[in-house]
Amino acid sequence: MAEASTSRPLAASSVPRWDLEHEVVVVGHGVAGGAAAIEAARAGADVVVLERMTRGGGATALSTGITYFGGGTEIQTACGFRDSPEDMHAYLRLAAGEQADPERVRLYCEGSLEHFRWFRELGVEFNPTFLDDKVTHPFGTECLTFSGNEDAWPERELARPVPRGHKPAREGEAGGYLMEAVLRGTAESGARVVNECRALRLVQAADGRVVGVVARRERERIAVKARRAVVLATGGFIMNREMVAKHAPHLLQCNYRVGTPGDDGSGIRMGMGAGGDAINMGEGLVLNAYYPPSSHLKGVLVDRNGQRFVNEDAYLGRTSDAILRKADGRAFLVVDDELYGQTQAFHKLAAVEESFEALEKALAIPAGALVRTLEVYNESAARGEDPLFHKAPRYLRPLSAPPFAALDCSTSNSIFGVFTLGGLSVRATGEVLGPDGDPVPGLYAAGRCTAGLPREGRSYASGLSIGDASFFGRLAGRRAAQLAPWD
């Protein structure tokens, strides 16, 4: 079982010989590692990528591939949406969460159009089409979606709603297709890739500079010298139960861990061992997909006491976080006969009854509570209003066609996907920072092993993980290539 403790670095003086020697050593070949390797190599550095699996890809290759771009991409323009770096910035300040690093948000928005072109030049195609439906896993080849809370309250009143989720032009999960382009880009950049090579410990010189990595390649232990820098890009820690229990115990209620075995926090623990700080470790993205069908957005989400607690049309990251934290993990989506449809995650029906009273009784909700909630909801929905949670008018209509069904959205009875959002504290340019805010010399990190741009699941938008990992992976790679060699 993976540990929760930090991995102590090896002193450089204890390394008997270096088996490999390169200027920049990138650990992990997902999108962050690939982006770092490509940019470091393009900047002229001699780069090696160490990947523990037989091939790179990581969680990125399993993903839907939605990437958050904006500021007026050609896809946005072709679909009739006007966007600007300023509008994107207004929204992303909210989506990144209260703990966000303002510098990261600014750079991401200013560089988004160039970053979109970078992916295009790697060969990733996007169709100029808009999917006008609320989904988390678009299955078709349409590109543009509202992938977060852009059109939900309160964001829609604070920033002009514009769709920025861009899915590559592939059916189903498109992350594999996107990642193939990145792996090809790494190969073409001249970076060397060593697969089946798992980094175990960092190597640190007496002055604290990180100067290499100890890794296991197949059965042998090797020391890899990094003449300029090491870039950690190893993914998150959702597969490390000990770490989750220690840092984010509420996430243990979720029953579907989204990631690969590589998401065991090894990079975070290595970085901490070398003096790096880990921050935001209690945050995760939680997803309980009670839509599609988007008719379910017209349903009413209630807790065990029959009370509403969130606007049902918010991004699933927010509604699911609210189920976990506000409703204590027990919630039902009430729909009527016209709204009901099978969800993609196959939610169980907790009860189906002809009246609100009977439904309330079947769900063991205190007498009168659910009936009152639904009557109040219906009255205001009939006027196109939701004074309590400001659900958008397009999703407001009274529940009036019996039978009424309650879908079980509880953590114990439905699928709750989860991955972590915490990790190493880094500058936007990738330097790993210690608790005092000073960089650990020679050490960089990017992607899910860092506390990146999205800091909260409740304000997250799909596409921010791949967007953040690739954008800041590139910056880290460039900066690592510029660091003066240590010998």
Ligand X SMILES: Cc1cc2nc3c(=O)[nH]c(=O)nc-3n(C[C@H](O)[C@H](O)[C@H](O)COP(=O)(O)OP(=O)(O)OC[C@H]3O[C@@H](n4cnc5c(N)ncnc54)[C@H](O)[C@@H]3O)c2cc1C
Choices 55-63, 90-98, 180-188, 218-226; region in contact with ligand X by CB under 6 A: 55-63
Q: Shortest distance, CB of residue 472 to ligand X, whole angstroms?
A: 10
CA distance readout (Å), 76 to 89, 165, 188: 16, 10, 30
- Of 296 and 448, the one with the shorter C-beta distance to ligand X is 448
- Of 59 and 297, the one with the shorter C-beta distance to ligand X is 59
Contact between 447 and ligand X by CB under 6 A: the answer reads yes
Choices 59-67, 337-345, 365-373, 424-432; region in contact with ligand X by CB under 6 A: 59-67
With CB under 6 A as the rule, give the number of residues binding ligand X.
Answer: 41
Residues 216-235 that bind ligand X (CB under 6 A): 233-235
Contact between 448 and ligand X by CB under 6 A: the answer reads yes
Can you tell me which of 287, 381, 469, 481 binds ligand X, judged by CB under 6 A? 469
- Which residues, in sequence order, are CB contacts of 121 under 8 Å at separation 6+? none
**Residues 211, 216, 217, 221, Cα dihedral to 10°:** 80
Contact between 288 and ligand X by CB under 6 A: the answer reads no
Q: Shortest distance, CB of residue 222 to ligand X, whole angstroms?
A: 12
Contact between 65 and ligand X by CB under 6 A: the answer reads yes
Contact between 70 and ligand X by CB under 6 A: the answer reads no
Q: Shortest distance, CB of residue 136 to ligand X, whole angstroms?
A: 8
- Of 365 and 469, the one with the shorter C-beta distance to ligand X is 469
- Which residues, in sequence order, are CB contacts of 43 under 8 Å at separation 6+? 477, 478, 481, 482
Contact between 454 and ligand X by CB under 6 A: the answer reads no
Is the CB of residue 411 less than 8 Å from the CB of residue 254? yes
Q: Shortest distance, CB of residue 449 to ligand X, whole angstroms?
A: 6
Q: Shortest distance, CB of residue 410 to ligand X, whole angstroms?
A: 22
Contact between 59 and ligand X by CB under 6 A: the answer reads yes
- Of 7 and 373, the one with the shorter C-beta distance to ligand X is 7
- Of 197 and 483, the one with the shorter C-beta distance to ligand X is 197
Choices 36-44, 51-59, 107-115, 369-377; region in contact with ligand X by CB under 6 A: 51-59
The total of other beta-carbon atoms located within 10 Å of residue 63's CB is 25
**Tokens representing 385?**
């209003």
d(CA 455, CA 448): 11
Choices 64-72, 127-135, 237-245, 365-373; region in contact with ligand X by CB under 6 A: 64-72
Choices 30-38, 115-123, 185-193, 344-352; region in contact with ligand X by CB under 6 A: 30-38
Contact between 268 and ligand X by CB under 6 A: the answer reads no
Across the strands, what pairs with 164?
A: none
d(CA 204, CA 263): 24
- Of 232 and 409, the one with the shorter C-beta distance to ligand X is 232
d(CA 398, CA 356): 13
Can you tell me which of 23, 45, 56, 279 binds ligand X, judged by CB under 6 A? 56
Of 200, 278, 264, the C-alpha closest to 419 is: 264
Q: Shortest distance, CB of residue 23 to ligand X, whole angstroms?
A: 18
Choices 257-265, 373-381, 398-406, 427-435; region in contact with ligand X by CB under 6 A: 257-265
Choices 37-45, 183-191, 260-268, 317-325; region in contact with ligand X by CB under 6 A: 260-268
CB burial of residue 346 (10 Å; 0-12, 13-18, 19+): exposed
Interface residues toward ligand X, by CB under 6 A: 27-33, 50-53, 56-60, 62-66, 175, 198-199, 233-235, 258-260, 262, 266-267, 447-448, 462-466, 469
